[in-house]
A and B are shown apart, each in its own frame.
Chain A
Amino acid sequence: MLPIARYSNLRAIRLLSTTLPRSSSSPLLRLLSTLAVLEQKDGKLNSGSLCAVTAGKKLGGSITGFVAGSNVKVVAEQAAKGNGMEKVVMVDNGAYDKGLAENFAPLLVENIKKGGYTHVIASHSAFGKSLLPRVAALLDVQQISDVMSIQSDDIFVRPIYAGNAILTVQSTDSIKVLTVRTTSFPISEASDSQTASIEEGTDPKAPSPTEWISEDLAISDRPELATAGKVVSGGRGLKSKEEFDKLIPPLADALGAAIGASRAAVDSGFADNSLQVGQTGKNVAPQLYLCAGISGAIQHLAGMKDSKVIAAINKDADAPIFQVADVGLVGDLFKVVPELTEKLKKA
């Protein structure tokens, strides 16, 4: 991996040094400028979207944040503090509140062209997934999805085949448009007190042919699944929604964990869709992933195998989950889970 990265950097610098005046000390860094697309909602910054800034830092060069929505100044100020951005561009217009790709994409394209960015990065969230491909198409570039690691300014690593293979690609496009995996680019705590300048961006005021009607979000006091430090997950083995609700939330509470579920559990109606962990659900990489009644299909493993510690409870000793679990307990989850919950509470 390293020789390739080195080669690319060398090549890039060599290319640059032939085209640029030699006087600049670090031509590569000078030319790199990243636009990190941040998410906001109801005047609050989605801190998960700051992973785009973390990814930008890996690239080097300057990082500009971008937010749009009504009364977005507060969000811009929040983002500007100590996150390592040079500048935050904001567009104050309520039309962008719901993050609809139809008008948000032209807005971004205008600001990308104006700012002359070489890299555009957003989190691989529902917002980023819906928006960035549209932006990439308008810029005529091939986007790179769900980037796990950045090797150089044009070489990126991403999972394919539900994480069963890892692909390293080199982009030949002039602008690199990336969505990055939140769990691979965790945000660092605001360390420096340096504050970025806030600028107003251009607003093309493109109309949106799509009208936002309503949302239905499951509000809970638990940590958010995608970014939680611990996740307790249940599968088909729980047999019913009643058993799921009886066993999983108390265990999650005892650990202070978020709740997840396998597709089988979601499809059978035991848990809400938004809790699904896997290739087509959420990707999680918590410190601890504790699962009960999940066999470990490849589609499920795709979403959780980067967890630091995996603990599994299953009655089938041959379940594939035990091949990846750091701690495995073969047993009846209806007995084991309540016992575990009790003992964790006492501990």
Chain B
Amino acid sequence: MYSSQTNKCLLIDFWHSVAERESAVRGRLECLPARMSKSLRILVPVKRVIDYAIKPRVNKSQTGIDTAGVKHSLNPFDELSIEEAVRLRERKKTPVSDILAFSAGPAKCADTLRTAMAMGADRAIHVEVPEDQPLEPLGVAKLLKAVAEKEESNLVLVGKQAIDDDSGQTGQMLAGLLGWPQATQASKVEIEGETVTVTKEVDGGVDTVRARLPMIITTDLRLNEPRYASLPNIMKAKKKKIEKKTLEDYGVDGRRRLKTIKVEEPPPRKGGGKVQDVDGMISKLKELGKIWAFDVLPFPSSVSRPDGFLTLNATRSNLE
């Protein structure tokens, strides 16, 4: 059916296409370093915390919070960071070559890292730190600096605060240590090439700033709606790699600078009971107003800006 001529032609075509494909591959490899610098290597630090819905209890010796047998989960702000990293990949504006989840903490942090990988992180690093000697934000920032440098990360997405310690420092400290630009409390992130535009939540509204990679962004609740990890993704996450490391591997000193003197329950507030109707409410407010020196009647409202730039005539007594 085929003449030798056509066979030859087909063969030549075949080799042509192979050569073409080869040169294309080579070309791609050649321009790879240039592409690498433009692709995002995202580092997402995550923290294992007591679940947000659980009311923490102070332990009997007043040294901390009871954590044994209490439900833990991924810090909600870190979920937002992972989600944003995955969305940056899905948006396909700037290629994302790596999403690395990182956690420093007790052995159980591995579960948290699995959750991060089930949501879309490619791999994970776990630095084991004993539960009774957790790192402070400064220690975490130093560790993250070493990780970011070693892994050649060019974007770090950090939650704006951990809901246990409520410090809200790690991202800014890391940015300071690396000398990178920072955008805190991000509610919108846009990346075009190497230019990053971030809308930040500030007092009274939003601010928009622009910087170039590499950069640190801390995530605010408004940034996105984190996805649930699907069962297939949870299964896939089991095959992804968690690299075990130690503080020594990164040459970081985990010594704490703050000494806990004590942890106690806040003074309880007693509910003052209920009133029957609006009149009851007004008269009770008037009565309480006498004690607390506020007037239930309107006062002339001073014109003010929402960001705190107002002439304040506060003479409130301190609660302490």
Contacts and interface: CB of A to CB of B under 8 A. Distances in A.
A and B pair up: yes
A173 B171 CA distance: 20
A126 B202 contact: yes
Nearest to B310: A224
Contact of B259 (A134, A149, A170): A170
A299 B54 CA distance: 11
Contact of B281 (A172, A214, A327): A327
Nearest to B297: A347
A83 interface: no
B25 interface: no
Contact of A48 (B266, B276, B308): B308
Contact of A220 (B160, B281, B306, B316): B306
A210 B211 contact: yes
Interface stretch (B39-47, B91-99, B106-114, B172-180): B172-180
A163 B165 CA distance: 10
Contacts of B271: 322-326, 328
Interface stretch (B5-13, B148-156, B233-241, B285-293): B285-293
Given A217-B305, A336-B278, A223 B310 contact: yes
A120 to B, nearest CB: 14
Interface residues on A, range: 35 or more
Contacts of A218: 204-205, 306
Interface string B240-280: 00000000000000001111111111100101111111111
A160 B49 CA distance: 12
Given A326-B272, A329-B277, A223 B285 contact: no
B182 A141 contact: no
B288 A309 contact: yes
A164 interface: yes
Contacts of B58: 165
- Taking each of B160, B169, B274, B275, which has the highest tally of chain A beta carbons within 10 Å of its own beta carbon? B169
B294 A287 contact: yes
Contact of A159 (B174, B266, B315): B266
Contacts, number: 346
B30 interface: no
Contacts of B302: 223
B278 A254 contact: no
A127 B273 CA distance: 39
A256 B138 contact: no
A107 B225 CA distance: 37
Contact of A41 (B184, B201, B296, B309): B309
B201 A274 contact: yes
A184 interface: yes
B169 A133 contact: yes
Nearest to A49: B308
Interface string B144-168: 0000000000000000110111111
A330 B171 CA distance: 44
A68 interface: no
A217 B271 CA distance: 36
Interface string B79-91: 0000000000000
Nearest to B275: A329
Given A136-B173, A141-B257, 4 more contacts: A134-B173, A137-B138, A167-B262, A344-B298
Interface of B: 50, 52, 55-56, 58, 65, 136-138, 141, 160-161, 163-177, 180-185, 187, 197, 200-212, 220-222, 256-266, 269, 271-282, 284-285, 288-289, 292-294, 296-316, 318-320
> Top 10 closest A-B pairs, CB basis?
A217-B205, A133-B172, A133-B169, A326-B272, A287-B294, A137-B176, A142-B257, A137-B173, A134-B176, A126-B202
19 contacts: A46-B307, A48-B308, A130-B184, A133-B137, A133-B170, A142-B136, A144-B258, A145-B169, A186-B316, A216-B208, A220-B306, A221-B304, A253-B301, A254-B298, A280-B221, A287-B294, A298-B55, A327-B273, A339-B278
